[in-house]
């Protein structure tokens, strides 16, 4: 195999293995300020009613949002509504941002 076909194979694999968009924490901060801080607080630490989401891993965060979006999590209608407005890129950006906030 020459170098070119190795490169072609690597990029094909990258496509197959799916979303390579890593999420932009700075963009996530802007989105959080617009849509999340009213309930979860500027620091993401929440309060008695709203969960603390600062410092969640990208995987846990993404799983939670996906569950609100697909209706698996139905405990809070307002949170579900907020999640349903998010695109996959929004979720990636927000996940990157909240993962960096201290718990």
Residues in the site for ligand HEC, rule: CB under 6 A? 35-36, 38-40, 49-51, 53, 61, 64-65, 73, 75-76, 78-79, 82, 86, 94
Q: How far is the CB of 6 from ligand HEC (least distance, A)?
A: 39
Q: How far is the CB of 10 from ligand HEC (least distance, A)?
A: 33
Q: How far apart are CA 24 and CA 97, in angstroms?
A: 7
58-84 burial string, b = 16+ CB within 10 Å, else e?
beebbebbeebbeeebeeeeebbebbe
- Cα 71 to chain centroid, rounded: 17
Which of 64, 96 has the CB closer to ligand HEC? 64
Which of 73, 100 has the CB closer to ligand HEC? 73
């Amino acid at each position: 195999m020459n170098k070119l076909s190795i490169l072609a194979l690597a990029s094909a694999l990258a496509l197959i293995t799916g979303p390579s968009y890593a999420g932009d924490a700075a963009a996530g901060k802007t989105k959080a300020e617009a849509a999340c801080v009213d309930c979860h607080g500027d620091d993401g630490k929440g309060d008695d009613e709203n969960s603390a989401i600062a410092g969640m891993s990208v995987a846990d965060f993404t799983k939670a949002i996906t569950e609100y979006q697909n209706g698996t999590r139905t405990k809070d209608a307002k949170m579900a509504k907020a999640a349903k407005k998010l695109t996959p890129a929004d979720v990636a950006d927000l996940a990157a941002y909240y993962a960096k906030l201290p718990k």
